[in-house]
Chain A
Amino acid sequence: MSAAHALSLVGLTKRYGSFTAVDDVSLDVTKGQFLTLLGPSGSGKTTILMAVAGFVAPSAGAILLDGRDITPVPPEKRDFGMVFQGYALFPHMTVAENLAFPLRVRGIDRAERDAKIRATLDLVQLSQFAERRPSQLSGGQQQRVALARALVFDPNLLLLDEPLSALDKKLRAELQDELKTLHRRIGRTFINVTHDQEEAMSLSDTVAILNHGKLIQIGAPDALYDRPRTRFVAGFLGKSNMISARVVERDGSEARLSAGGTTLVQRLNAGMVGDTVLLSLRPERIALLGGGETAANLVQGRVTAWSYLGAGHSLTVETADLGALRITLPTWRAPFAPAEGLVLRLGWPADAAAPVEDDGDE
């Protein structure tokens, strides 16, 4: 199979009248990477994908494939495989004819065409369905046909527009694994669009988070989760407790913060004494402390709500100075049956929370 390709967006902007759908987005996708564009609806992620595919002409900026500007190249000349939302399989053709379509328009002769179709159908485990029509297949099978059709002509890139959104939860998890395995096997560059943060984190090497047409943060899933740059990222990728506190003392990389009457110890690289900082504290980083235990940060609170999640408990604990804190505990670590009004001691180390920029978005 052909080598993987790298893609760069340079200052990509798309305006529709006075509305800016994509606002000056620059990012690099390296060879063989699996990048996911993640954002709520209206964040511009699909517009970016359509611009990469060639269906949307950018108002400004450039799209580079291996350093070559492809912005003016029409979609049929880009050689990008694309899986559309809803699959867009040709209803008047069989599965094999659907796969033959991109090969036929490239003038590939029959023998080679048949060999490629067979190999690709094997890859997605659909060999026995070659003569069926799309309407005779289940949703998951249609999705795999769409994937096969996008891969059969050895495309430069594979673009996926919410490829799993139409499937039920169990099937989605299965196909997520398949997609990941496929990516590893064929070593191509994949660009995926989704609004599902779990899908983004489990599939991708790199996640780009978008909001209101702007690129907010890009990085490996764990980096984004552990060190979100803004309040929006912290809230969009998983759940987070937001704590606002004032710096009262600095000591090297650590700082003392004050929130109401509570003093917090926090690792902090920026921020002067007197500044107000916003911290994102993940629910699973808060520990429940027993009688003799202690931690850098200590608070006490009363349980106001809880839910049992099988693998764990999710508790809401009302504290005097930090407001309601959400914490999650593995079931086997919860030494009690949660009850409303229960008073708990909570603690976390100085590096548990991450300072974030307040971009006004929850």
Chain B
Amino acid sequence: MKRLLSLSALVLLIAASAFADIARPEPTKVPKNGKSIDTTMIIRLDKNATEARLIIPRSQIKQLRAELQQMDDDSDATAAVTSPSAISRTQTIVSGLLLSLAIVFGGVWFVRSGKTATRTGKTLVIAVVTLGVASAATYVYANAGPPAEARSITGKMFSQAVHFYNFGSGKIRIESGTESQVELIVPDPQPAATASSDE
């Protein structure tokens, strides 16, 4: 007992000594709002365009870059790293391994526990598994994407059918330009001409 107490005191003393000379973490100043510049944008449907392009004037890119530079200087550089939703490779690897271990051990326990596990315990396990599968199914349903028209930036995006989704997305090329305003060029392929219309 005395040994145990002496050891405890020693361990706590060593741990507490780490306090010395080391500054406590200071409050992280996270900017409340991102930087922005005001400008105007033209959206142009172009039947000859093959891909969507967003052209940003060079002057505005420079202005935005200066703003971003200042924001980087102002904010703690670690803010991005400490974002609660950020996840590193190490985290993913270890978390994935532990998840597999949990399922392996859980399954083996479930199969082997037999009579020793209580009915409540087994019911609880089944409930957790069912809940997990149901959550995954909900997730799948919730992630089911909109039609192809809303998943590519083309003229069809402006159709009434796509308005239902209230959003659209797709690949875009961002370029710098010499114009004075931002321009969004949207491909607008025309439907293939039918025989009757050709005539």
A and B together in one complex: no
